[in-house]
Amino acid sequence: MSDGITCLLFDLDGTLYLESNGYVKHCRTRGCEYLSKKFGWTMAEAEEKRKLALKTSNQTVKGLRTLGYELDDKEFVSYMRDGVEQFLKPNRELGEFLSSLKQKKYVFTNTREVEAEKALKCLGIRDHFEKVYGADFMGDSCKPETRSFNAVVEDVGTTCEECCMVEDSIKNVIAAKQLGMRTIFVRGRDPEQGFTDESGETLEVIDCACDALTIGNLEKGAPFLWK
């Protein structure tokens, strides 16, 4: 593999499928329903806490715990993500893009592995990936914390310089770049993932930006993927 990139790390939500297909919104609404029942909050209060939690820790359960709300992460996450098959369908263009890449590919997500596996099967792309790294692997860490990236890189048996992180969260792109990774930013236009009109600061950490993962969208901006 030339150009030094031997390992591709893909975020899941908003990256391997676009936030605009409604699944992210569905999960957030269900997450609020769960929190509203559990803590006796109105849906508006639950939404406020959920947003604050995600902003605090970049992962809802971790953020809620940091804010002092204890909950069963397995029960919460499976409730929140239920109904995935209604939203995520096999994506031929994405499959072609992944098939064209010779590097080893991994999923690196802040959600639980079991939920990520279901989503990948719905998208028809599970077989492209060597392994899924998620919340169970990371334990009390999550993206964008440096130690979560380092734990994945170590487990894969590579170095940050050999990795390219594909992400829709600008915080995670910044973290990956600071560690020496290449970065591909999927512009999901989700303000909760830090989307802003590209400022100079964000541009510096992005090696290539695209609206969706297709060969056509990336062959010019990220030729290193196929070198």
Q: Which stretch binds Mg ion (CB under 5 A): 5-13, 84-92, 201-209, 215-223?
A: 5-13
**How many Å from the N-terminal Cα to the C-terminal Cα in the chain?**
7
C-beta closer to Mg ion: residue 14 or 49: 14
Q: Does 144 bind Mg ion (CB under 5 A)?
A: no
Q: Which stretch binds Mg ion (CB under 5 A): 7-15, 37-45, 89-97, 120-128?
A: 7-15
C-beta closer to Mg ion: residue 36 or 148: 148
Tell me, what amino acid is at 110? N
Q: Per the omega criterion (within 30 degrees of 0), is the bond before 191 cis?
A: no
C-beta closer to Mg ion: residue 14 or 63: 14
**Hey, what are 193's tokens?**
């993932």
Shortest gap between Cβ of 39 and Mg ion (angstroms)? 26
Report H helices in 126-190.
135-138, 146-156, 170-178
Q: Which residue is nearest to Mg ion (CB)?
A: 14
Shortest gap between Cβ of 185 and Mg ion (angstroms)? 11
Question: What single-letter DSSP state applies at residue 164?
Answer: E
Rounded Cα distance, 208 and 105, in Å: 18
Burial 182-212 (b: 16+ CB within 10 A, else e): bbbbbbbebebbbbeeeeeebeebbbbbbeb
Q: Does 11 bind Mg ion (CB under 5 A)?
A: yes
- From candidates 168, 173, 194, 225, binder to Mg ion by CB under 5 A: 168
User: Which of 85, 79, 82 has its CA nearest to residue 21?
Assistant: 85
C-beta closer to Mg ion: residue 36 or 133: 133
Shortest gap between Cβ of 3 and Mg ion (angstroms)? 25
Shortest gap between Cβ of 68 and Mg ion (angstroms)? 26
Shortest gap between Cβ of 19 and Mg ion (angstroms)? 8
Task: Give the distance between the most distant pair of CA atoms in the chain.
Answer: 56
Q: Which of residues 13-32 bind Mg ion (CB under 5 A)?
A: 13-14
Interface residues with Mg ion (CB under 5 A) are: 11, 13-14, 168
